Amino acid sequence: MPSARSGGRHGRRLKADINVVPYIDVMLVLLIIFMVTAPLITPGQIELPSVGQASDVPVKPLEVQIKSNGDISLRLREPGASYVPIARPELVDQVRSRITADTPVVIAADGKVPYESVVKVMDELRSNGINKLGLLVDQSSSSGKAAAATPKKR
d(CA 46, CA 121): 25
Does residue 48 surpass a pLDDT of 50? no
Report how far apart the first and last C-alpha atoms of the chain are (Å, whole number).
82
- For the ranges 16-25, 51-60, 105-114, the lowest mean pLDDT is seen at 51-60
Of 52, 65, 56, give the one whose Cα is nearest residue 118: 65
pLDDT for position 33 = 95
Average pLDDT of the segment spanning 82-97: 88
